[in-house]
Structure 1
Amino acid sequence: MLIFDADDTLWENNVIFERVIDEFLEWMAGPGLDRAGVREVLDGIEAANAVRLGYGSKVFLRSLRECVERLRGRAVTAGEAERIAGWAPAFDGGRVELIPGVAETLAELARRHELLLLTKGDAEEQERKVAVSGLSRHFRGVHIVAEKDVATYEELVRAYDLVPSAAWMIGNSPRSDILPARAAGLQAVFIPHDRTWVLEHAEIDPDDGKVLRLSAFGELVRYF
Structure 2
Amino acid sequence: MKKITTIAFDADDTLWVNEPIFTKTRLQYESILSSYFKIDDTLEHKLYEVELKNLKLFGYGIKGFILSMIESAIELTQQKISGKDIQRIINLGKDMLTHPVEILPGIEETVEKLKTEYQLIIITKGDLWDQETKIARSGLAEHFEHIEIVSEKNTSTYTGILNRYQIKPSNFLMIGNSLKSDILPVCEIGGQAIHIPFHDTWVHEKMDKHTIGEYTFQEFQSIMELEDYLSSY
Q: TM-score, normalised by structure 2?
A: 0.89
Mapped to 2, the partners of 1:88 and 1:126 lie a distance apart of 15
The structural deviation recorded for 1:118 is 0.4
Q: Percent identity?
A: 34
Unpaired runs of at least 5, structure 2: 1-5
1:69-88 equivalences in 2 (<5 Å) = 69-74=74-79, 76-88=81-93
The structural deviation recorded for 1:194 is 0.7
Does 2:216 correspond to 1:210? Answer: yes
CA contact (8 A) 2:14 2:196 kept: yes
Identify which of 142, 157, 164 aligns with 2:169.
164
Which SS does the other structure have where 1:223 is aligned? helix
- For 2:19, give the aligned amino acid: N
The structural deviation recorded for 1:28 is 2.7
1:20-99 equivalences in 2 (<5 Å) = 20-29=25-34, 34-74=39-79, 76-93=81-98, 95-99=100-104
CA contact (8 A) 2:62 2:97 kept: no
Mapped to 1, the partners of 2:155 and 2:81 lie a distance apart of 38
Mapped to 1, the partners of 2:103 and 2:204 lie a distance apart of 22
The structural deviation recorded for 1:219 is 1.2
Identify which of 184, 189, 194 aligns with 1:189.
194
Instruction: Determine the structure 1 residue equivalent to 2:204.
Output: 199
The structural deviation recorded for 1:77 is 2.7
CA contact (8 A) 2:153 2:185 kept: yes
Instruction: Determine the structure 1 residue equivalent to 2:3.
Output: none
CA contact (8 A) 1:16 1:90 kept: no
Greater shift, 96-105 or 107-116, is seen at 107-116
CA contact (8 A) 2:169 2:191 kept: yes
CA contact (8 A) 2:174 2:183 kept: yes
- For 1:127, give the aligned amino acid: E
- For 1:218, give the aligned amino acid: M
Which SS does the other structure have where 1:35 is aligned? coil
Deviations 1:75-100 (A, max 9, x none): 64312211111212322327310001
Q: TM-score, normalised by structure 1?
A: 0.93
CA contact (8 A) 2:51 2:65 kept: yes
The structural deviation recorded for 1:112 is 2.0
The structural deviation recorded for 1:207 is 6.4
The structural deviation recorded for 1:209 is 5.5
Instruction: Determine the structure 2 residue equivalent to 1:221.
Output: 227
- After superposition, the CA RMSD in angstroms is 1.9
